[in-house]
Amino acid sequence: VQPPEKPLQPEEWNKLREDLQLPEMFEEVMLNSMIRCNSPIDVAKSLLSDLAKRNGDIAYNVLVKYLTLCVQQGQVSEIRDVYDIMKARFKVLEGGAYNLLIRGLSNSDQWKMALTLLEEIKKIMVPSRTCYESCVKAASRHQEMKLAFELYKEMLAKDVVPTLDVLQSFFDFSRGLKGAELQKELFGILFYLRENQIYPHKTFMRSIKLWFESIPGENWRGRLTKIKDSGQCPVCNHQLEDSKLTGEEYSKLSERIISDVIHGTDTFRKTSPKEFEAFQTFVEKRLPFDIVIDGLNVSHIKSRKMQCENLLDAVNCLAKENARLLVLGRKHMLVNSSNWKREIMKEMQNKADFFFAENISEDDAFLLYATLRSGEHCRFVSRDFLRDHKACLSNSLTRHLFRKWQRGHQISKPKCFSSVFSQQPAFCYDCVVQTTGDTWHIPYKDVFEEKYSYQVPRKWLCIQQK
């Protein structure tokens, strides 16, 4: 439907209404297309006037549509009028209308009213994150940083996750401002990024950089860089935090893996208590391992080769480095078949320890257990992302720990296959926002959306104080 370009007379609306043959939906359809085409507000007004004259009332959803149009065009006085009418007509409003009202008002010079509206919402429900976003942005735009931070903290307290936009606006609007309190709050945001393993995108990173450089009298300087594989920053020669978990974190993670991933609701789902016990005693006897290999996963690396050959290649190449290996597999690998030759299996068993799980058991769970049990130095080889095991962990904190540990300990593409795959080593440094007081290192994403959760950015912002 093409909305008219000018306000129409009631007769003309009538005619259009008849043409469309949708008597009940007409206003909605018309207003929707007006929103799409960003029609002049007077056209919508004439439609509403016609409607009011016909029915003596205007339905709530039509009012909301009109409000959308007003907000889209920033017609502040209209927004206020609509709000007055809605407020008088209905006892409470629903979230959609509040979102629109707050968005519309916060962008205007009447932004204080958005704050009173926010208070009003809080009486009946938890405000949405867009509501908070608009209010925080409005407050920081008007340099009321204290208020903005109060709202931000309230948001976190209510488990409303702030968008990166909100966080960025803090840095944008505090540029050039001085104050120890403010600086502390902004550092707080950087710590929030660190704790939740959030990576800022390029524009956000730029805002951070500019803010640091704008602090009067502190002489910060930011440079974009790439961190060496050794974990050293080429700009300031500072060694980044290593990816080791603390002792406490480590034991917490192993505990959770055993209880959530291996046992879960029912030990029989992934293994059986008898099998798990047998595995535990097996591992305890031969501890510690240096590398644990997911046999079945590795055996599928090259589809042209026999599965046991693939595994043999991997074992040979890893055994050269004089490491203690553990290969996890399933019992069917022991049965002589076209893919699993008995002689080759024998040969491998001389070079590495093998544990064969039942055919219907999950070998990944054993992989995690054996690696964790062997200690911090132990790595594991698998191309599996282990997402389903991560999902079994019951709280987000342990999931973060798991991902961090995984980054540091998983070798997904072993060296020996470098002809086919590029090598992706386990990182020896931790890829999070970090500081030493006079330096900050902030990893950032080149693109706006991080595509895969397992990928970590390779680009960094190095900020140091001179």
Question: Residue 320, exposed/middle/buried by CB under 10 A (0-12, 13-18, 19+)?
Answer: exposed
42: contact with another protein by CB under 8 A: yes
339: contact with another protein by CB under 8 A: no
Considering the complex, state which of residue 96 and residue 425 has its C-beta at the smaller distance from another protein.
96
Among 45, 142, 351, 383, binds another protein (CB under 8 A): 45
- Cα-flanking dihedrals φ and ψ of residue 291, to 5°? -135, 130
In whole angstroms, the minimum distance from the beta carbon of 158 to another protein comes to 13
How far apart, in whole angstroms, are the C-alpha atoms of residue 311 and residue 371?
Answer: 19
Considering the complex, state which of residue 81 and residue 446 has its C-beta at the smaller distance from another protein.
81
In whole angstroms, the minimum distance from the beta carbon of 66 to another protein comes to 9
Among 59, 161, 335, 428, binds another protein (CB under 8 A): 59
6: contact with another protein by CB under 8 A: yes
265: contact with another protein by CB under 8 A: yes
In whole angstroms, the minimum distance from the beta carbon of 267 to another protein comes to 8
Considering the complex, state which of residue 213 and residue 275 has its C-beta at the smaller distance from another protein.
275
Would you say how long the chain is, in residues?
Answer: 466
The tokens for 69 are 């149009």
19: contact with another protein by CB under 8 A: no
Residue type (1 letter), 109: D
Provide the 10 A C-beta neighbour count for residue 406: 20
Among 23, 24, 91, 451, binds another protein (CB under 8 A): 91
Using the contact rule CB under 8 A, the part of the chain among 95-103, 105-113, 160-168, 314-322 near another protein is 95-103
Residue with tokens 């959803």: 61
130: contact with another protein by CB under 8 A: no
Considering the complex, state which of residue 94 and residue 229 has its C-beta at the smaller distance from another protein.
94
Among 35, 67, 70, 93, binds another protein (CB under 8 A): 93
Among 4, 17, 60, 183, binds another protein (CB under 8 A): 60
Considering the complex, state which of residue 162 and residue 414 has its C-beta at the smaller distance from another protein.
162
Size of the site for another protein (CB under 8 A): 43
CA neighbor of 135 nearest in space, from 149, 115, 117: 115
Which string of x and - marks every residue 140-179 that binds another protein (by CB under 8 A)? ----------------------------------------
In whole angstroms, the minimum distance from the beta carbon of 256 to another protein comes to 19
CA neighbor of 444 nearest in space, from 227, 195, 128, 136: 227
Considering the complex, state which of residue 61 and residue 424 has its C-beta at the smaller distance from another protein.
61
Considering the complex, state which of residue 84 and residue 321 has its C-beta at the smaller distance from another protein.
84
In whole angstroms, the minimum distance from the beta carbon of 85 to another protein comes to 5
CA dist 47 to 10, 12, 75, 96, 324, Å? Answer: 8, 10, 17, 22, 79
**What's the order of all strands across the beta sheet hosting 410-411?**
353-357, 325-330, 291-294, 379-381, 410-411
Encode burial over 60-90: b for 16+ CB neighbours within 10 A, e otherwise.
eebbbbbbbbbbbbebbebbbebbeebeeee
Give the footprint of another protein on residues 351-370 (CB under 8 A): 359-360
Residue type (1 letter), 263: H
Considering the complex, state which of residue 95 and residue 288 has its C-beta at the smaller distance from another protein.
95
State the residues that interact with another protein by CB under 8 A: 6-7, 9, 12, 28, 42, 45-46, 48-49, 51-53, 56-61, 64, 81, 85, 88-97, 124-125, 265-270, 272, 359-360
